Amino acid sequence: MKVLYASWELDPYIKLGGLGDVARSLPAALGKNGVDIKNVMPFYKAVKIDKKNLVKTGELEVEYDGRSERVIIYETINPTNRIPLFLLQNRKYLSFADSQNNFAFFAKAIVEIIRQKTIAWIPDIIHCNDHHLGLLPLLVRHNKLKVKTILTIHNLSYQGHAPIAVIEKLGLKTSHCRPHAWEIKSRQLNFLLEGIIHADVINTVSPTYAREIMREEFGMGLEDILRGKEGRVFGILNGIDKEYNNLLHYQALDYPFLSGIAGGSKKLYSWQEGKKHNKAHLQEKMKLKIDSDIPIFAFIGRFDAQQKGIDILHKLIRRGAYEKYQFVILGNGNSDWEERYAWLSKFYPESVSCNFLFDPHLAHLIYAGADFILIPSRFEPCGLIQMIAMTSGTLPIAHKTGGLADSIKNGRNGFLFENYTSESLGMMIDKAVDIQKNDRAKYEEMVSTAMRTDFSWDKSAREYIGLYDKLYLGEY
């Protein structure tokens, strides 16, 4: 069984979010479990690869917007997972990822490579990711290719809209797609909607989120379409690459405590010693009082009030009831919210440190040095923050939704609050501190349980292989 894993980003070449991590780690786990799998992504101008590591495997002409475009296919090996990678090069449409035209052309180029048999390796299944590849299942059906498609939805709120003329640029008629009634009037095309309609199977990145998106509260306007695909919508929890994460932990920290690094020169500490030293280092770096008895609550994430819960976290800190604790914030995004948080750090300089940037090394210091990680998301398809934090012995305090509900066991390896309010978040913070201060045995047991929780990709890979097998056998 041959699987082509199609995504618009892939670590270490281009990584703008969690998809880049997944596109690296999941194919690696699938490959280890016997799947003949290859990645494919655009050969962006920003991608730098030594020419000696590139092999040109073919070229073809792709019709788009009434013109013929030359696409060159290169193949290389991703050094981080040893999985083969196809890079598709076209100066006009595949050098950047800044419009829906780029994504539409990328989808058509993949389909044309298969239709024209430009390369010898032809997949049985194409695994599409998010709205960027939403038009690929439609193109596969239109060309009557003997290839099955699976669409993974990493976040339903990103649907990808473009003028419906994109369909005509692909050489199709608008009657081939099925826009919503209001989209027909506005001449708009929804890429993710088309993917959901035409893919053989759909999955999301956690079982709870797969159920949530069937409801109006979480369905982002697509709940009726998704309910119509019931029986073909699945939820498979993402994992993390523990070995890769441990390597980053080891490289970033002066006091590493995660095992799995062969031949390292640094001393490996116990988690208790490691967290104590890293906590002091974090407090010093953040210009906070160095005191091991003061709990540190961290937030790492995008400044997005619609999803990430920064509104209720801000409200909680703003009330001033938690000045005796320390809050370390790492993230960026909405400039208005950055300004509001900057105000908090000025008003409470001894308890709030805000860092508006993307800094992987600082993130690993926070994971290792904080006592608790706050994930107050309004909704969360999966979430990787809680998994990395637990691996690093930092207990999550999270809203019970999506992948957070699937990966955190309340009172065993973290804490979950039910209601999306600052009051509910505050009550859970109080409970967590009470256990840490007054029931040390339970706290250390929770940390040990969190660190032992299996978030490897192997279980997820087996579930995907189960879906692939059913697709390959024609059950969908």
- Please name the amino acid found at residue 293: D
Instruction: Say whether pLDDT at 461 is over 90.
Output: yes
pLDDT of residue 320: 83
Nearest to 308 by CA among 385, 253, 219: 385
Cα separation, 3 vs 28, in Å, equals 12
Is residue 199 within 8 A of residue 128, CB to CB? The reply is: yes
Cα separation, 401 vs 418, in Å, equals 8
Widest pairwise Cα distance in the chain: 71
Instruction: Name the token pair of 116.
Output: 């024209």
* Digit-coded pLDDT (tens) for 77-107: 999 899 999 999 999 999 998 889 999 999 9
Within 10 Å of residue 41's Cβ, how many Cβ atoms? Answer: 24
> 179 falls in which pLDDT band (50, 70, 90)?
low
- Site of tokens 């019709």: 63
Instruction: Name the token pair of 243.
Output: 């070995």
* Digit-coded pLDDT (tens) for 382-396: 999 999 999 999 999
Cα separation, 110 vs 123, in Å, equals 11
Instruction: Say whether pLDDT at 259 is over 80.
Output: no
pLDDT of residue 142: 95
Same fold, 2-239+458-472 and 242-454: yes
Q: Would you say 15 is a known binding-site residue?
A: yes
Distances from the Cα of 360 to the Cαs of 150, 364, 367, 369, in angstroms?
31, 6, 10, 14
Is residue 383 within 8 A of residue 404, CB to CB? The reply is: yes
Residue percentage of the chain with pLDDT more than 90: 86
Cα separation, 160 vs 166, in Å, equals 12
pLDDT of residue 188: 84
Q: Give one DSSP letter per residue of 423-470, joined into a string.
A: HHHHHHHHHHHHHHHH-HHHHHHHHHHHHH----HHHHHHHHHHHHHH
Nearest to 42 by CA among 132, 140, 160, 127: 132
SS3 40: strand
Is residue 330 within 8 A of residue 296, CB to CB? The reply is: no
Within 10 Å of residue 65's Cβ, how many Cβ atoms? Answer: 16
Within 10 Å of residue 48's Cβ, how many Cβ atoms? Answer: 7
pLDDT of residue 261: 60
Cα separation, 217 vs 349, in Å, equals 38
Kindly tell me the burial class for residue 141, based on how many C-beta atoms sit within 10 Å of its own C-beta (0-12, 13-18, 19 or more): middle
- Please name the amino acid found at residue 126: I
Does this model's pTM top 0.85? My answer is yes
Quick one: residue 172, left, alpha or beta (phi over 0 = left, psi -120 to 50 = alpha)?
A: beta
Rounded to a whole number of angstroms, the CA Rg of the chain reads: 23
Mean pLDDT in the chain? 94
Q: Per-residue pLDDT averaged across 393-407, rounded? A: 98
Q: Tabulate helix, strand, coil % of the chain (nearest 5).
A: 40, 20, 40
Cα(first)–Cα(last) distance of the chain, in Å?
Answer: 16
> 156 falls in which pLDDT band (50, 70, 90)?
very high
* Digit-coded pLDDT (tens) for 218-257: 999 999 999 999 899 999 999 998 888 888 888 889 999 9
Taking each helix axis from N to C end, the angle separating 271-285 and 360-369, rounded to the nearest 10 degrees, works out to 120
Distances from the Cα of 296 to the Cαs of 89, 276, 373, 393, in angstroms?
47, 12, 8, 13
Of the candidate CATH numbers 3.40.50.2000, 3.40.50.12500, 1.10.565.10, 3.40.1180.10, the domain formed by 2-239+458-472 belongs to: 3.40.50.2000
Which distant-in-sequence residues (6+ apart) come within 8 Å of 105 by Cβ?
62, 64, 69, 90, 93, 94
Distances from the Cα of 276 to the Cαs of 79, 294, 300, in angstroms?
34, 11, 20
Look at the domain 242-454 and name its fold. Rossmann fold (3.40.50)
> 442 falls in which pLDDT band (50, 70, 90)?
very high
* Digit-coded pLDDT (tens) for 33-87: 999 999 999 999 999 898 889 999 999 999 999 999 999 999 999 998 999 999 9
H or E element: which one contains 6? strand 2-6
Instruction: Say whether pLDDT at 122 is over 60.
Output: yes
Nearest to 288 by CA among 344, 353, 346: 353
SS3 257: coil
Cα separation, 200 vs 71, in Å, equals 27
Structural domain boundaries of the chain?
Answer: 2-239+458-472, 242-454
Cα separation, 17 vs 347, in Å, equals 31
Distances from the Cα of 230 to the Cαs of 68, 151, 177, 226, in angstroms?
39, 14, 20, 7
pLDDT of residue 362: 96
Is residue 238 within 8 A of residue 460, CB to CB? The reply is: yes
